[in-house]
Chains A and B, each alone.
Chain A
Amino acid sequence: MSVSTRPLTDQELTAIRGEFPILTRTVREDRPLVYLDSGATSHKPRAVLDAERGFYEQHNAAVHRGAHQLAEEATDDFEAARETVAGFIGAATDEVVFTKNATEALNLVAYAFSNAAPTDADKDEQFVLRPGDEILVTEMEHHANLVPWQELARRTGATLRWVPLGADGALDLERLGDLLTERTKVFAFTHVSNVLATINPVTELAAAAHAVGALVVVDACQSVPHLAVDVRTLGADFIAFSGHKMYGPMGVGVLWGRSELLDVMPPFLTGGSMIELVTMERATWAPVPAKFEAGVPNAAQAVGLAAAIRWIEGIGIDRIHEHEASLVAHLMTALAKRPWVRVVGPQAGVDRGGAVAFLVEGVHAHDVGQVLDDAGVAVRVGHHCAWPLHRSLGVAATTRVSLGVYNTVADLDVLLEALDRVPVIFGTEPEISSVAASDHGQAEAS
């Protein structure tokens, strides 16, 4: 991180929190809300809500259609939003495609591969998969960056392979040499794990993939909101992220792709807006990014996302990362003092994203979450859409704390106080060890 990064002052934090109306509400009978689930979705500051509302109140029209003034203004707003997103990640403006969410962005790429059928005269070989070709993913993927590739393999006869989880929440990169071969056509992996918070070495992995001619798709959902991402140095060919995890509205996600790839990719969804010429028999496609934005786009949400990015830039993404890192360090230290808690993923001292997932000895994550909820603390419990990862860890579910810029040490104190009630309520001895709380043991214990 940049040495010039100044920590957020208490005054700044108070001001930041004041911009989120929802943080003033109470839950479960008068408990102040302690929101530690920003990895699932972040809250939205007033600036974002105002921008979305402002679009509808002042400029609402279907973009790229009509010659009236509102249509012009709506189009300008939408395209300005694209420029803001591009600027934030160091991309060219026409390399930014608005989607419904990151899941759709990843599916867009996966479908480009199977749409480029080997019989299509316009096919680009990079996007054609045949039996014998391989798709490489990792064992730590969110379902959004796993299931589309499973389905692509099924549709094309290609083989799905994966990099297994290694020690300490990192990928087992010693296996990469065997797994990444000239048969690999695409390597899809997450930048930051949504459970382990492991930060994968994207540039190194991308270089290895490119050395064998594979395309690189990166799930950047848990990185873009929390650390500086610049596609010019990242090394990926595609990245996908969602607006709602970065203080923006729900219903808007982003696919960034290198323009030379987007140019030759077939479209995913077809219909209005994405065409160049249509006859009764067939159609040709508009240039990118319009080729990938069929139908009336989510302009109000894109405008909201641009407002979220300006809001982030007003604080500074590096300062946000530093603030969250200091909270993670505080939490890791506190959890280390509780021998009945086991953190999954990188241990203290290793740089990680803004999440900490853990197990409580002898208590299922759902029960942990329930006790925390009773104290007004919102966390995520379960497999966090990363079921194979949990299976690999040998656990059914974990409790995940994930942070946003509005979180404070006071939030963590409320969390820890509530967490300490868990062994008391469930009568588990704090001293017991070694039995992972997979809860397999519970049903077999009698």
Chain B
Amino acid sequence: MDLYQELILEHAKRPHHCGLREPFDGETHHVNPTCGDEITLRVALAGADAHSAADSDRVITDVSYDAKGCSISIAAASMLTDEVIGHPVIEALDTYTAMHAMLTSRGQLSGDEDIIGDGVAFAGVSKYPARVKCALLGWTAFTDALVRAGVDITTLSQQGAKP
């Protein structure tokens, strides 16, 4: 079974950046209704008060979360924080778009390591349609938290995220 890569099991056991922290600019709570997994996720952005700063340039200073779920969903949330903290919003959305494309590819895409980094470890998940939601739970919560932080992600994902 190529689903449980060592890296995934490692993140699931010792998730990075977990726990909810202050300050934050957007918070959301998402559930996976098929299994009852839940995540509360917060994002903090630099320049959140400076309305003159373009959304795309704002840097993600923190992502914190409280999650309960399977190893795939915990590991995905953990790895997400590694991939996006310290990066501008537009880069994070590119990573999201690339992760989403890989995860929903039914095993067709192995993922671009340059864009999604360690996220390529989740390539095996895409062969198990029932588990894709697990891996996406943290990511969809993250994009929702960005929206709640006032970021217009629709225009940003059009600018970036070239396949």
- Interface set of A (CB-CB < 8 Å, partner B): 363-367, 370-371, 374, 381-383, 387, 390, 396-397, 425-427, 438-440, 442-446
| B69 contacts chain A at the CB level, 8 A cutoff | yes
Across-interface contacts of B128 in A (CB, < 8 A): 370
8 more CB-based (< 8 A) A-B contacts, given A364-B71, A442-B74, A443-B66: A382-B34, A396-B35, A396-B69, A397-B37, A426-B71, A443-B74, A445-B13, A446-B14
Q: Is the CB of A396 within 8 A of B16?
A: no
Q: Is the CB of B1 within 8 A of A439?
A: no
Within the complex, the shortest CB–CB distance from B63 to chain A, in Å, comes to 13
List, sorted by A's number, 24 A–B pairs whose CB atoms are closer than 8 Å: A364-B37, A364-B69, A366-B35, A366-B72, A367-B71, A370-B1, A382-B36, A383-B36, A387-B36, A396-B68, A397-B35, A397-B36, A425-B4, A427-B9, A427-B13, A438-B68, A439-B69, A439-B70, A442-B15, A442-B67, A442-B71, A443-B15, A443-B18, A443-B74
Q: Is the CB of B18 within 8 A of A444?
A: yes
Within the complex, the shortest CB–CB distance from A91 to chain B, in Å, comes to 35
| B87 contacts chain A at the CB level, 8 A cutoff | no
Across-interface contacts of B70 in A (CB, < 8 A): 364-367, 439
The 5 closest A-B pairs by CB, nearest first: A366-B70, A364-B70, A382-B35, A443-B67, A383-B36
Within the complex, the shortest CB–CB distance from B70 to chain A, in Å, comes to 4
Q: A370-B128, A425-B4 are in contact. Are A446 and B36 (CB under 8 A)?
A: no
Within the complex, the shortest CB–CB distance from B142 to chain A, in Å, comes to 15
Q: Which of B31-73 contact A (CB under 8 A)?
A: 34-38, 65-72
Q: Is the CB of A370 within 8 A of B15?
A: no
Q: A366-B35, A366-B131, A442-B15 are in contact. Are A374 and B68 (CB under 8 A)?
A: no
Across-interface contacts of B80 in A (CB, < 8 A): none
In the complex, A149 Cα to B6 Cα: how many Å?
Answer: 46
Q: A370-B128, A382-B34, A425-B4 are in contact. Are A446 and B18 (CB under 8 A)?
A: yes
Within the complex, the shortest CB–CB distance from B155 to chain A, in Å, comes to 32
In the complex, A47 Cα to B19 Cα: how many Å?
Answer: 56
> Chain B's interface: helix, strand, loop or mixed, by majority?
mixed
Closest B residue, CB atoms, query A371: B1
In the complex, A364 Cα to B76 Cα: how many Å?
Answer: 15
Tell which of B9, B34, B68, B69 touches A426, judged by Cβ atoms closer than 8 Å. Answer: B9
Q: Is the CB of B131 within 8 A of A370?
A: yes
Tell which of A387, A396, A445 touches B14, judged by Cβ atoms closer than 8 Å. Answer: A445
In the complex, A442 Cα to B18 Cα: how many Å?
Answer: 10
Closest B residue, CB atoms, query A425: B4
Give the bracket for the number of chain B residues in contact with chain A: 20 to 34
Within the complex, the shortest CB–CB distance from B131 to chain A, in Å, comes to 7
In the complex, A427 Cα to B14 Cα: how many Å?
Answer: 12
Tell me which of A366, A370, A438, A439 has the highest count of chain B C-beta atoms within 10 A of its own C-beta. A366
In the complex, A365 Cα to B70 Cα: how many Å?
Answer: 7
Q: A370-B1, A370-B128, A427-B13 are in contact. Are A443 and B71 (CB under 8 A)?
A: no
Q: Is the CB of B36 within 8 A of A390?
A: yes
Q: Is the CB of A439 within 8 A of B15?
A: no
| B141 contacts chain A at the CB level, 8 A cutoff | no
Closest B residue, CB atoms, query A396: B36
In the complex, A284 Cα to B153 Cα: how many Å?
Answer: 56
Within the complex, the shortest CB–CB distance from B85 to chain A, in Å, comes to 15
Q: Is the CB of B15 within 8 A of A445?
A: yes
Q: Which of B113-153 contact A (CB under 8 A)?
A: 128, 131, 134
Q: Is the CB of A446 within 8 A of B1?
A: no
Within the complex, the shortest CB–CB distance from A108 to chain B, in Å, comes to 25
Within the complex, the shortest CB–CB distance from A13 to chain B, in Å, comes to 30
Q: Is the CB of B3 within 8 A of A370?
A: yes
Q: Interface readout for B1-29 with A: 1 if CB under 8 Å, 0 if not?
A: 10110000100111110110000000000
Across-interface contacts of A387 in B (CB, < 8 A): 36
Within the complex, the shortest CB–CB distance from B4 to chain A, in Å, comes to 6
Q: A370-B1, A425-B4 are in contact. Are A443 and B35 (CB under 8 A)?
A: no
Tell me which of A364, A443, A444 has the highest count of chain B C-beta atoms within 10 A of its own C-beta. A443
In the complex, A426 Cα to B13 Cα: how many Å?
Answer: 9
Across-interface contacts of B37 in A (CB, < 8 A): 364, 366, 396-397
Across-interface contacts of B9 in A (CB, < 8 A): 425-427
Across-interface contacts of B36 in A (CB, < 8 A): 382-383, 387, 390, 396-397
Within the complex, the shortest CB–CB distance from A358 to chain B, in Å, comes to 16
In the complex, A367 Cα to B71 Cα: how many Å?
Answer: 7
Within the complex, the shortest CB–CB distance from A436 to chain B, in Å, comes to 11
